[in-house]
Structures are given as C-alpha cells and as structure tokens.
Amino acid sequence: MEQNYASPLTVTEANFDRAVLQSETPVLVDFSAAWCGPCRAIAPVIDALAVDYGGRLTVATVDIDDNPGLANRYRIRSVPTVMLMSGGEIRRVLVGARAPREYRESIEDLLH
C-alpha cells in the first residue's frame, strides 16, 4: 500500500493490520470522527505531518464511526486520539487536540 505523502492514508478495519501493524515505518494513527470539532481543528496539523515526515513516518486516519471495531479494539473513548505506533506496538497516545509542537516532539522521540 503506497501512501501519498501529501495527505494521510485513510485506514479501515479491512486494511489496518497491513497498513499500520505491519508497516515498515513508524505510524501516527489519528482516530477521529466527522462530527468532532477538535478533530477538524487538528486535521491541518495531521496533514502537515504527513508531508513533513513523508518517507520516515506513515500518517493514517481512522474514522471511528465507519470503523467501530478498531475504536473498540484500541479502546478509543474520546476523539481525537492520536496513537504513535512502531513494530505493531503502541508507543504513545495523545488524547484530545494538542498543539502541533506536542505531536512533533512525540514523533521526534519515536523516530530517534
């Protein structure tokens, strides 16, 4: 599965394991919903991260309403929830809208 680094990869229950858990690069997964105001607020930040970290980090989005199985599997209780994963393991979870700096610092920690 090839990611267009200009935008996040849309991930579903059908392709999550392959796209996220088996990814050769670390993954930022943005669990969100269309009705969520804070999710819409951080969407440009998530888009920018996909561009800025292209090739070093896979940036993926999961709509929890369209993929309730993933929301249950990862115990998503609030959106947005951003998970940083590597090697199929959760490395960091950021719940709620955060400053862009927090996402970048978490990504840098994951990549180094």
- Residues with a known catalytic role: 36, 39
Beta 81-86 vs 9-10: how paired, if at all? unpaired
Q: Which residue, chain included where needed, has tokens 């849309």?
A: 10
- 102's tokens: 């927090």
The DSSP element (H or E) to which 86 belongs, if any, is strand 81-86
Cβ neighbours of 110 (radius 10 Å): 18
